[in-house]
Structure 1
Amino acid sequence: MPVSQHSSRGAGWKATRLRILERDAYTCWMCGGEADQVDHRLAKSKGGADTDDNLSAACARCNNSKSDAVMVRTPYWDTEYLANIV
């Protein structure tokens, strides 16, 4: 049975995942580390959708520890990078 384009699997999800990772510069929104996954800020189990405003890049450690908890998005700021652009 084919996977729905709205599922977190399949070709539709792969394109969405890549778009979110690139948008977020492969930076985990929780710790600032290198992201290799995409997190649903509001988990699908709690009604969250596969929409760009509900998705953020995340590293495996943070994404797995978060599970389906609801967290407020606090963008990660690389203070070393910011110090060098001032």
Structure 2
Amino acid sequence: MSGVVVLNTDNTALHTVSIPHAIRMLIRQVAIIEEALEDRQIGPYPVPLVLRLVRYVKTAFLYGRTPAWSKRSVLRRDQHICAFCGGHGTTIDHVVPTSRGGRNTWLNTVCACETCNRRKADRTPAEAAMPLRFAPRVPLWREVTPRP
């Protein structure tokens, strides 16, 4: 068993916790058991599979702003696909080179393979005659958040 699912009061899944953590939540009376293994007990509690919180937890603050830019997140957003040739990308490239005022932003960086990155060098895609296969964009949180 990988963990106990914790639901908000509106039955949306929030996250998973360990069984000891789930039991502590029951003791503190912040959650109630929605589903459990009835034949197994931990003290007075059945072993929980799903808990539901007693009070609603607002989660909008987690997704109210855009994800912070990082090289790793750019690679995740672009799924390690080179924006120039479509091959396996391992580096990032600036659409407007940093030497010309380009910055580390979602809309100015793309994933690139080492060959294309070297070939483009210190030029824009138009100057290097290397059109982008897809436009850079601000990603959704789920695209750049590591999956367990």
TM-score (ref. length: structure 2)? 0.40
Counterpart-to-counterpart distance in 1, 2:132 and 2:119: 17
Deviations 1:25-49 (A, max 9, x none): 1000000000000000100001100
Aligned to 2:99: 45
The answer to whether the 8 Å contact 2:83/2:111 transfers is yes
Deviations 1:53-74 (A, max 9, x none): 0000000000011101111553
Taking only the aligned residue pairs, the percentage that are identical comes to: 32
Q: 5+ unaligned residues in a row in structure 2: which ranges?
A: 1-68, 135-148
Structure 1 or 2: more helix by fraction: 1
Counterpart-to-counterpart distance in 2, 1:64 and 1:74: 15
Q: 5+ unaligned residues in a row in structure 1: which ranges?
A: 1-14, 77-86
CA RMSD of aligned residues (A): 1.5
Aligned to 1:55: 109
TM-score (ref. length: structure 1)? 0.67
Structure 1 or 2: more strand by fraction: 2
Counterpart-to-counterpart distance in 2, 1:60 and 1:40: 13
Higher RCO (CA 8 Å, separation ≥ 6 residues): 1
